Structure 1
Amino acid sequence: MIKDLPDNTVKDIAIAVALEGENVEGKTWYVYLINLKNEAIENVLITAKGYGEKDGEQVKTSTLRHMIPNVQPNSFALIEPIDEETFGLSNEYWLSYYIGKNIFDKKFIFLPESIVDMNLIKLPVVNKPGVMIK
């Protein structure tokens, strides 16, 4: 029975946290969905939340849901701004999307303290410094 199910493995899709700018008050960060495929993805739903331990207590952020109607091939879409205060938590992005009539989904988790300067790379397509999970 399981062999009859389609292999809907998420490939060539990434979630990235990009450094947008820096000023005296701090850094500005945004979260992006990057479509590295040669085809569009549609009806994209992303659930974002943070959780973990801070100062010895369990902490949870609000759960936010984002809908993006279409992400073209080799392009990106802005998901949300993200506050540096949450970088000490696990930041989870649960992605679901369609290609034709097939649904795909995957959970992307930025672990605590993984969004740091030493992990920055030049993000493909977005062309900004950031941390990416593919």
Structure 2
Amino acid sequence: MKKDIDFHIAEKVQIVAVKEWDKDFLAQNWNVYLINNREDTIETVLVLSRGNSEDKKTSTLRHGLGDLPSKTFKKVELITDEVLGFTNEYLVTFFAEGKLFERSFVFEAHTISEENAIEIPLLETEGIRAK
């Protein structure tokens, strides 16, 4: 049962959105990345993503990212312009130090925009950090 599992709060991991050129669609698109700023590898990484507005919601997607070494990042998904006005939530779960870690990240509605971009050092570009 979930109540029997000892979850720890994940620290030094981030969810960010970065606008980049997509050669398949020949357009600038927002992509969501998970960054591991920890000093160790995070294992069996799962990311659940979903979005909602006042009257609509997206499907819940589950992304298995495998293991993510220290000071690296991995693309989670493309986030389409149609859902930038939604509140988009990402639930990250992984194993490290022999323990289970979990944390929820949220992009509030309309916060994913070029005007809100800040430097994301590990990716060497600008983007939006989820709260």
Which category of TM-score, normalised to the shorter sequence, fits these structures? Answer: 0.7 to 0.9
Does structure 2 retain, via aligned residues, the 8 Å contact 1:12–1:37? yes
Q: Does 1:16 align with 2:16?
A: yes
Counterparts of 2:6 and 2:60, CA distance in 1:
30
Does structure 2 retain, via aligned residues, the 8 Å contact 1:20–1:128? no
Tell me the TM-score normalized by structure 2: 0.86
In the other structure, the counterpart of 1:88 is 85
**1:32-63 CA distances to partner (integer Å, 9 max, x unpaired)?**
0000111110001111011013xxxx101111
Counterparts of 1:43 and 1:6, CA distance in 2:
17
Counterparts of 2:44 and 2:6, CA distance in 1:
19
Distance change (3 Å), C-alpha of 1:7 and 1:61: closer
In the other structure, the counterpart of 1:37 is 38
Q: Does 1:107 align with 2:104?
A: yes
Counterparts of 1:127 and 1:95, CA distance in 2:
23
Distance change (3 Å), C-alpha of 1:7 and 1:83: closer
Q: Does 1:131 align with 2:128?
A: yes
Tell me the TM-score normalized by structure 1: 0.85
Runs of 4+ in 1 over 6 A off after TM superposition: none
SS in structure 2 at match of 1:80: strand
Does structure 2 retain, via aligned residues, the 8 Å contact 1:19–1:128? no
Q: Does 1:78 align with 2:78?
A: no
For the pair shown, the structure with the greater C-alpha radius of gyration is 1
- Code of the residue aligned with 1:32 in structure 2: it is Y
Does structure 1 retain, via aligned residues, the 8 Å contact 2:6–2:100? no
Question: Percent identity over the alignment?
Answer: 31
- Code of the residue aligned with 1:40 in structure 2: it is T
Gaps of 5+ in 1: none
Does structure 1 retain, via aligned residues, the 8 Å contact 2:12–2:36? yes
Counterparts of 1:47 and 1:70, CA distance in 2:
16
Gaps of 5+ in 2: none
